[in-house]
Structure 1
Amino acid sequence: MYACSKNEDEIIAPEKQITFSVPSNFTAPAYHFEDNKITNAGFALGKKLFYDARLSADKSVSCGSCHQQFAAFANLDHKVSHGVNNCQGKRNAPPLFNLAWQKAFFWDGGVKNIETSPLNAITDACEMGTDVETIINLLKNTSPYPQMFNKAFGSVEINSQRILKSITQFMAVLVSGNSKYDLVMRKENGASFNSLELAGYHLFKEKCSSCHAEPLFTDFSYRNNGLDLVSADEGRSHITGLATDFGTFRIPTLRNIEYTGPYMHDGRFYSLDEVLEHYNSGIKPSPNLDPLLKSGIPLNSSEKEQIKAFLKTLTDNEFIKNTLYSES
């Protein structure tokens, strides 16, 4: 007599292991997970916390409210972040991906550790407007969080370190490295630039790559790009106290730039055309203007189209549509 076996449609597929993978054309990351080993349970907890609006003061705003997957985890069509009680911040919400390569966070580099970076959003009066203790008390009394913390960390204890480590597991796994550009660089599947994209790539390397360095398309430096004669936002000088840092901001990545508008630290430009025209004709001679921009970046209409064509090869549709990162 044979033992009964499960029907094929009753067999549950094994859970796919969540991993952090470094694309072969990338440099080594700055964050290594030695003290925050990735587990499926930790990642799932971090994702749930990322998307849970109940963590904010008025239960209306989650991390995912300002960092939307379809916008490469930036904030589509919002110049600046919108927080609790419809409060508007003063800076554009940056996209969240390839964070494991960053050593400092936010437009001014005010936070040096990815694990503590969510604290700014949690405590800012114009973002989530709350505090960690309030969140801990909420989570202790909200199912299924105690069970999820137990599964992720081996006990039902909920503390700030576990909250931040689990959110980090989710955020740091957000790696975008499968754009057309990446396929071309890795010589995968016979990928190649068309003539317009190739011309744009050559132009980009000539005119833009000193700040937007490959393969991450940022050098992580802080520069003044001539948006204003006198910046309304003090920028990095708020952190360093140095007059030479007034009105300087971190160079943003250009990956997924097709979907991360509006652009600049204050979201003043809604299109890539506006951005390119700024560099062509709109540079203001600020006292802290980056020396590389003293003469602007002259671009004729044909060159603008070529650069835009190249920039669109940096779009990673696989990342933007990956349901692993989506709100369940």
Structure 2
Amino acid sequence: MAEEPDIIKQLRDAEKLGLVQSKMQSEYEEVESVDQASENIWGETVAFSEDEDQKINSNEKYSSIENLEFIKSILDAIDDGIYIVDNQGNIQYINPVIRREFGPVNNKKCYEYFHNRTKRCPWCKNKEIFAGKSVHWEWYSSKSKKYYDLFDMPFVNKDGSIFKFEILKNITELKNNNKKLKKQKKIMETIFNNTPNMIVLKDKNSVYRNVNNSFCEFVGKKEEEIIGKTDYDLFPSEEAEQYIRSDKAIINEGKQQREEWVVPGENDKTWLKVIKSPIMDEKGEATVVLCSLTDISDIKRIEEKTRYLKDYNENI
């Protein structure tokens, strides 16, 4: 369930002061729209062009505004966009934020004003709103080129007419930042999985949380066969104890360690240059171990061969 926006909470606070009253209808009421000028909720003149019955479900609660000037001053001061519309698409109110974003109403219907359309929008949520439901959704405006988080709710004016109350929160910056983060994440994943170095992330209990492709190839297992496991599931007990002991030292001391390991293999041994670094949480405590392993077997074999030749020449 969507969390109530701050303005709704403010209106509920106003309700406690007697400025806004909740209204429960005991039965369906029919409110006839007339083809003539009528007053909107602020006492201004607005023309209704359609004749349509509006029904109020007895099981739904609506809000009826009593002190209009007080509430209007609240709506005018809200940082988010606020607009109120009737079931025929006649805009009853827009706050300064909406006016700055979309301009003056000039007697336009909501679909003309917001979408430059000549008829109702196929994605319109008004059917749900005027049936007594509150709806939380997102919308991209081709007119303002911005993204909005929308919260729509119905309320009943004191004369029984139903209106849609909508809050528009500009989330364009948030959406753009999310796109950037996704792009950066994709780049990091590409680097992570294509580097020749083996990279591993373990939690403080030495449980594997993330591994790259190079490490998977080294141990001969798929990623899903490694994540959630410990070294005891992947290596002989003696090796596993060495690796886990090293992890605990990183967590306890909070310092980077550099080591060289020799890993036995079926045909030959493998030399690894291992760099383990702690990753701190917001409290400054080490909770994750970042491990980078580089295969230096070729270098070690060259060093062994060089030493052998040196010893051989010295003994001639």
TM-score of the alignment, normalized to the shorter chain, above 0.5: no
Larger radius of gyration: 2
More helix by share: 1
Higher relative contact order (CA 8 A, sep 6+): 1
**TM-score, length basis structure 2:** 0.19
**TM-score, length basis structure 1:** 0.19
